[in-house]
Chain A
């Protein structure tokens, strides 16, 4: 078993606490009408942070679904800035600048999994070092893209790590209505590569599993499917009411296994953490997200920005629409010759 170092574990807890703190701040911002729909991270922290901490940001890629970006500090502070841009609805939210090897939120479930395979394959074709870590959930595993991509990755032996964060719920659909398989990890058998199930509340276990998968991928031994079992401690998103379907006792039981509390207890026992550090980390996280929020709000937005970046150059049609928009024509489509 590969264990993270003390310093790594401390840093992982910093990231986990920051992620939850910032996610909660974003929840508040949404409830204050200041940002759009967001998906709280509560319960996913160890699965995300433990995985990402095995990666080398200078060569490894991360393809998130939508719950992860707030926990990707390892890839740099610009991620948070783009999370906030994305959440206030600024078009630049999707533009995480090169060379940061992170893709923006993917709202369409599982569609990023074939991208991950193609990207990993493209890395090997160009002899680039690095692996691709792709996040998805238990619900996404029912999508065709998961099977198509898993199959393709197996055939190609691509250096990709499939990380299925099984949080027990696809909005309101429990996992027994999602699959009859023994586990999500078991599905790897059909693809011809290993499937591993880990306790996603145990950051060390996640770290070990992803580390092993990465070593395999770098050694040319192909992909790994990892199922990190967690429990979604919050609603699916700000638009969801889980009290309609999550049994309260399950939730209470899951709260007892809170990944942050678990790591915190361990680090406190070894003198690596205490309440003051915790408070400092939370304060810093709030300061960071406030700064990112302010920066996002002050990011310029041109009146015709929505028309940018559809094509490398505007088509004639689009150019006319842009001109109409900029000239303030109410009938922005009146590009034709009326008279």
Chain B
């Protein structure tokens, strides 16, 4: 529980005080007795010191506001339970990042970068000068929207970027703790315990069938590059998500599950996106994915993944998926047999896009190829439905422009 500091009567019978200046901001670490705020009362202006040490969560008013004695002045996570204390990322602190609000936010790419100034290192700025590129017109794809050398390649007139250059694989999750555990018996608990129970339940209850295939990802990568050139960001994963949502709408029985002796067809299309994190596999959920276009999906899924890795997902973020996509290719693999989570009827696994020899018009050419797998609950989904469902998605992935024209 955060420590709630209410405006005290600091002057023998004062009733209210005006906030003159905040000396701390949410996120600041404060020590006990550190000055938090300067307030003005009838009698004098005073600094009010913090009763506790901790991290500032919320301020009870803006500078210039009048507070009455007893009003909440500030909330401080006072770390009374030590290191185990939740980091100061709860929804109350960042209301605009609360779950549910994410999806209605405009796509990040429509926002100007840092105060209008392009985010680029001196080396990139020098390169841009040499290439004659105006950085203000370039959309950065690096962390935080930073402009990379690759961005200059695509933006510049002398761009030499190949449309078939595969995207750099997403950062492979690496951790020194991967696979580490001391000899002996360990309680199966926490995230690992949840994963274990879910997997065992799925594996024992759901009769899995799988189908494997490959598709030519040239246009998929080309689509991304073209969009970049137009100042918009999309990712292959987002294309797959939108394609899946469309397929699920077309075949509701895949957006369903067996519950006791009944078939439950879900009303909403909520897509789980499996993400590997330091703590294990988590599957945050993109709710109502069928209502998002590919750009909004890109932004939303990027944020979900980021929050998954920073450990700031809430329980609500993890509930309610009706279908799951696992981008196991981000770990480097081509083929996998993913397990369908409880409460769902199917799963889509994407392998790593890589250049492979492909036969086009009778000739062997090198093309970027995306290997993938579909798994389904054979109680609901027979082979013909699974193939039809798969085909729907393949069509969209092979020619992503379909997503823009609504075909």
Residues of A within 8 A of B (CB): 25, 28-34, 37, 235, 238-241, 243-244
Contact = CB atoms under 8 A, between A and B. Distances in A.
Contacts of A30: 8, 10
A32 B43 contact: no
Query: Which of under 10, 10 to 19, 20 to 34, or 35 or more describes the interface residues of B?
Result: 10 to 19
A31 B33 CA distance: 10
B44 A31 contact: no
Interface string B7-31: 1111110000000000000000000
Q: Which of A31, A34, A238 has the most CB of B within 10 A?
A: A31
Interface string B31-64: 0010000000001111111110000000000000
B interface: dominant SS: loop
Nearest to A235: B44
Contacts of A241: 43-45
Contacts of B47: 31
A239 B48 CA distance: 13
B185 to A, nearest CB: 42
B36 to A, nearest CB: 9
Find the residue from A28, A29, A243, A244 having the highest chain B CB count within 10 A.
A28
A70 B47 CA distance: 23
A248 to B, nearest CB: 15
Given A31-B10, A33-B10, 15 more contacts: A30-B8, A31-B8, A31-B46, A31-B47, A32-B8, A32-B48, A33-B7, A33-B8, A34-B8, A34-B51, A37-B12, A238-B10, A239-B11, A239-B12, A243-B44
A33 B6 contact: yes
Interface of B: 5-12, 33, 43-51
A238 B11 contact: yes
B95 to A, nearest CB: 27
A244 B41 CA distance: 14
Contacts of B49: 28, 31-32
A21 B6 CA distance: 25
A37 B10 CA distance: 8
Contacts of B50: 32
Contacts of A34: 8, 51
Contacts of A243: 44
B33 A28 contact: yes
A37 B14 CA distance: 12
Contacts of A25: 33
A25 B12 CA distance: 19
Contacts of B12: 37, 239
A236 to B, nearest CB: 11
Given A25-B33, A28-B33, A28-B49, A33 B44 contact: no
A244 B44 CA distance: 9
30 contacts: A28-B33, A28-B49, A29-B51, A30-B10, A31-B8, A31-B10, A31-B46, A31-B47, A31-B48, A31-B49, A32-B8, A32-B48, A32-B49, A32-B50, A33-B6, A33-B7, A33-B8, A33-B9, A33-B10, A34-B8, A37-B12, A235-B44, A238-B10, A239-B10, A239-B12, A239-B43, A240-B43, A241-B44, A241-B45, A243-B44
